[in-house]
Chains A and B, each alone.
Chain A
Amino acid sequence: MRWSLTAIALAFIALFLCLPLLLIITAAFAKGWSAYWSELTDHDTLSAIKLTLLTALITVPLNTVFGIAAAWAITRFEFIGKSLLTTLIDLPFSVSPVISGLIFVLLFGKQGWFGDWLYAHDIKIIFAVPGIVIVTLFITFPFVARELIPLMQEMGNEEEEAALSLGASGWKTFLFITLPNIKWALLYGILLCNARAMGEFGAVSVVSGHIRGLTNTLPLHVEVSYNEYNSVAAFASASILAGLAIVTLILKSFLEWQQAHDRA
């Protein structure tokens, strides 16, 4: 029984995880290493990689700070509207990414609420980099907070209160008491946040405007290249994304291992 279950699980993983990955790699190298390399170093691909990294570099730190602040507020204080805030944090999870994108078009688009004002002041948000960053910020908002809230609830605040009563400042308490306790969950949340920030397609597609070499992120670039019959470019970009995903997975298992090690 144990063996057959394991076999089923392994076959499933091979079929639905390893095979597609293998397919990406073979398609990327279908025309050889040099074709792969020249597609990767193509101006449009490079700019897509750059934009994807830039978006992650801005959104992940911001959402880390927001996530900690939100988790802290929810688990350490009592205030009116607390349950509403907890629900709101989950909003980006429950709304379809396309709708998330459209919300921002309706807000900042030329026909939107702030459209006239933005246009008059020559500020571009939608169909430009700020729009992509904003929707990614929205989409990846819950990851860090969601990881921290259950842990911090479970932890309780005895240690922090002890530190405070011994005269430590709030900042010092956070740095030396709270942070060491939540660090693994925090890193895990950051990792998930980063993975989504780099991989998001739907919402970004709505606000990007698809200007090649300018507002195409890696996932969008994959689609564009594929539609142009340029499958080497499409799968070369896909292999970069897959590579990022694998690095994330390795880091994740490392973190889990470290965490188990820490507790023991």
Chain B
Amino acid sequence: MNTFYTHFLKLLLTIALISTATAQAADVKLLNVSYDPTRELYQEYNAAFAKHWKETTGQTVEIQQSHGGSGKQARSVIDGLDADVVTLALAYDVDQLYQKAKLIPEDWQSRLPNNSAPYTSTAVFLVRAGNPKGIKDWDDLVKPGVSVVTPNPKTSGGARWNYLAAYGYALKKYGTDDAAKDFLKKLYKNVAVLDTGARGATVSFVEREIGDVLIAWENEAYLSLKEYGADKYQVVVPSVSILAEPSVAVVDKVASKHGTEKAAEEYLEYLYSKEGQDIAAKNFYRPRDPEILAKYGKQFKALNLFTIDEVFGGWNKAHATHFADGGAFDQIYSQ
């Protein structure tokens, strides 16, 4: 029995040692609450920023990450998750921090350039190698016999962009809202599975091999190519799509409580620097900086992009008409 206790004590001691080893306090600690597909991006960016911060201020900075569905993450910050900065999928989710809890000022979106979206993306198609169903544009998705995978717009920020991209395309091509709704009705009839999040939809398509085409963010589509092999899938860029602007913001109330405003602000501003933009492009987000965009020109095919403000009059309006209970999506999907 004695040996048992000594072993147990040793184990406890080891745990205690590990705790102290990991508790080497950094000068500044930031918590970045982000959404699902940015894991790889911020893993790389955080290391670069830590180096930059050390060089300019001499302080060490440790950045902690939390990932999840964009809407859920916003909800957690409202409920008290101590985020110094949020980097979410869409402005609507960031805006909830003002609407529901006044954690940020109303004009948060004008504090950083480009609507506080340092990088952009767009909705594209991922198809199986050789493109057996011959998918080239949105019209091919509503054809009978084509099986589509896209997440649920009710729960997934990424899925809302997909929905609005298809809607904007149909509106441009057929002219009226009724025709666009009709188009989406046909499209969602072809949807094989509505996952709750973007990563879940990708997993359904690549690992469970469901569907002929995955509507995905460009960055997520290229990441799948990288992870699962470029010989198994290919990316198809449609003629028209939406300009997705993932928004970032310093959560003022939290940062001022932690005394981390300076680092938090610089953390977001550095995303616009050459290095930040380069890391974004490397992780398949479209950079804002024209020079970096040119450098990665081959990767980002030019296409006709429309913004949510142009076609839908902004996120609040788009949300109320399309995704609120009883909105256009409910009508489309229930029939």
- Do A and B come together as binding partners? yes
Interface residues of A (CB under 8 A from B): 43, 46-47, 50, 53, 105, 108-112, 115, 119, 122, 124, 126-127, 209-214, 224, 227-229
B66 within 8 A of partner (CB): yes
Max chain B C-beta neighbours (<10 A), residue from A110, A115, A122, A214: A110
| B133 at interface by CB-CB < 8 Å | no
The residues in B between 68 and 95 inclusive whose CB is less than 8 angstroms from any CB of A are 68, 76, 78-82
Q: B332 within 8 Å of A by Cβ?
A: no
Whether the pair A127, B227 counts as a contact (CB closer than 8 A) is no
| Beta-carbon contact of B66 and A227 below 8 Å | no
CB distance from A230 to the nearest CB of B (A): 10
A90–B100 Cα distance when bound, in Å, is 35
The reply to whether A126 and B80 form a contact with Cβ atoms under 8 Å apart is yes
Are A110 and B65 within 8 A (Cβ)?
no
A124 CB contacts on chain B under 8 angstroms: 80, 82
Q: Say whether B186 faces chain A, with CB atoms less than 8 Å apart.
A: no
Q: Tell me whether B101 and A211 are in contact (CB under 8 A).
A: no
Write out the residue numbers on chain B whose beta carbons fall within 8 Å of the beta carbon of A111.
78-80, 100-101
| Interface of A (DSSP majority class) | loop
Q: Which residues of A contact B68 (CB under 8 A)?
A: 210
B36–A127 contact, CB under 8 A? no
Residues of chain B within 8 A (CB-CB) of A228 are 39-40
Task: Flag if A126 contacts B66 (CB, 8 Å).
Answer: no
- Minimum C-beta distance from B283 to chain A (A): 13
- List of B residues within 8 angstroms of A115 by Cβ: 80
**Nearest CB in chain A: distance from B264 CB, A:** 16
B15 at the interface (CB under 8 A from A): yes
- Cα(A73)–Cα(B18), bound, Å: 41
Task: Write the nearest CB–CB distance from B41 to chain A, whole angstroms.
Answer: 12
B227 touches A211 (CB 8 A): no
Q: Does B67 contact A (CB under 8 A)?
A: yes
Q: Which of A46, A122, A211 has the most CB of B within 10 A?
A: A211
The answer to the question of B31 belonging to the interface, with a C-beta cut-off of 8 Å to chain A, is: yes
Q: Mark B185-206, 1 if CB is under 8 A from A, else 0.
A: 0000000000000010001000
**Alpha-carbon separation in the docked complex, A122 to B254 (Å):** 11
* CB of B176 closer than 8 Å to a CB of A: no
A228 to B68, CA, bound (A): 11
Closest CB in chain A relative to B109 CB, distance in Å: 23
Interchain CA distance A119-B81 in the complex, whole Å: 11
The docked-state distance in angstroms from the alpha carbon of A126 to that of B176 is 47
B114 CB to nearest A CB, Å: 28
Least distance between A110 CB and chain B CB atoms (Å): 3
Instruction: List 5 A-B pairs, minimum CB-CB distance, nearest first.
Output: A110-B80, A109-B79, A127-B81, A209-B81, A229-B227
Contact with A along B136-148 (1 / 0, CB 8 A): 0000000000000
Please measure, in the bound complex, the distance between the C-alpha atom of A126 and the C-alpha atom of B76, giving whole angstroms.
9
Known A111-B101, A127-B80: A212·B15 in contact at CB below 8 Å: no
| Contacting pair A212 B66 (CB below 8 A) | yes
Q: A46-B18, A227-B199 are in contact. Are A109 and B67 (CB under 8 A)?
A: no
Q: List 17 A-B contacts (CB under 8 A).
A: A46-B22, A47-B22, A109-B79, A111-B101, A115-B80, A124-B80, A126-B79, A127-B80, A209-B76, A210-B66, A210-B67, A211-B64, A211-B66, A212-B66, A224-B67, A227-B203, A229-B227
In the complex, residue of chain A having the shortest beta-carbon distance to the beta carbon of B203: A227
Known: A47-B22, A50-B18, A111-B101. A105 touches B79 (CB 8 A): yes
Give chain A residues whose Cβ lies under 8 Å from the Cβ of B79. Answer: 105, 109-112, 126-127
Select B80's contact among A46, A109, A214, beta carbons within 8 Å. A109
Q: Is B19 an interface residue when CB atoms closer than 8 A count as contact?
A: yes
Cβ–Cβ < 8 Å partners of B78 in chain A: 110-111
A47, A119, A127 — most chain B CB neighbours (10 Å): A127
Q: Which residues of the partner chain A approach B36 to less than 8 Å between Cβ atoms?
A: 227
CB-defined contacts of A109 to chain B, threshold 8 Å? 79-80
Q: How far is the CA of A105 from the CA of B79 in the complex (A)?
A: 7
B227 contacts across to A, CB distance below 8 A = 229
Contacts of B67 in A (CB 8 A): 210, 212, 224, 227
Taking a contact as CB atoms under 8 Å apart, the answer to whether B80 and A211 are in contact is: no
A128 (CB) vs chain B CBs: closest residue:
B82
- In whole angstroms, what is the CA distance A200 to B155 when docked? 24
Closest CB-CB distance, B305 to chain A, in whole Å? 28
What per-residue 1/0 map shows which CB atoms of B31-67 lie under 8 Å from chain A?
A: 1000010011000000000000000000000001111
Q: How many Å lie between the Cα of A211 and that of B76 in the bound state? A: 12
Q: How far is the CA of A53 from the CA of B36 in the complex (A)?
A: 27
